[in-house]
A = this chain, B = another copy of it.
Amino acid sequence: MPKAKEKETYRSRLKAVGLRHTMPRERILSHLDRKNVHPTAEELYQGLKRKGAPIGLSTIYLNLHVLREHGLIYEFKDPKGETRFDGWTEPHAHLVDLETGKVVDLPLKDLGLDREAFLKEVSGKTGWEVKDFRLELRGTPPAKE
């Protein structure tokens, strides 16, 4: 009988790219894997420390680097020029407030966009094999009342 598809855990995601599963990595991935969470390295460190997690700042840096290289998280510069990280796994774009600098996650489905279809379409038009993409929208949010 065919093996059932494994449930996607952080452990399995790490294994898939040849990385060992460790507490720091579990904690980092888990912390980043939420909507609208894009901390700097330092903020992530403080956040984990506050939860009582024993972890070193250099371990944070090292793993952010490794995880990014393996495509498990995304690194970007916010409008203030600070380096931030994003590990939310739902396909999404970023809405960036030009006034405040705030970065908000926008699920692609809210744009009526299908990730796979888009990748295919762009691949056809460019000749490249496009495997992933990032979309950053910059502007001002609707006035709230």
Residue numbers of A with Cβ under 8 A of B are: 65, 68, 75-77, 81, 83, 95, 98, 106, 110-112, 122-123, 125-142
User: Are A128 and B111 also in contact (CB < 8 A) when A77-B76, A81-B68 are?
Assistant: no
Q: Is the interface of A mostly helix, strand, loop or mixed?
A: strand
A120 to chain B, nearest CB (A): 11
Task: Report which of B127, B128, B139 forms a contact with A131, defined as CB distance below 8 A.
Answer: B139
Q: A75-B77, A77-B83 are in contact. Are A129 and B122 (CB under 8 A)?
A: no
Taking the nearest CB of chain B, how far is it from the CB of A84, in angstroms? 10
- Distance of A20 Cα from B131 Cα, bound (Å): 43
29 pairs from A and B in contact (CB 8 Å cutoff): A68-B81, A75-B81, A76-B76, A77-B77, A77-B83, A95-B126, A95-B128, A95-B130, A106-B126, A110-B125, A111-B125, A123-B139, A126-B137, A127-B142, A128-B137, A128-B139, A128-B141, A129-B140, A129-B142, A131-B138, A131-B140, A132-B137, A132-B138, A132-B139, A133-B136, A133-B137, A134-B135, A134-B138, A135-B135
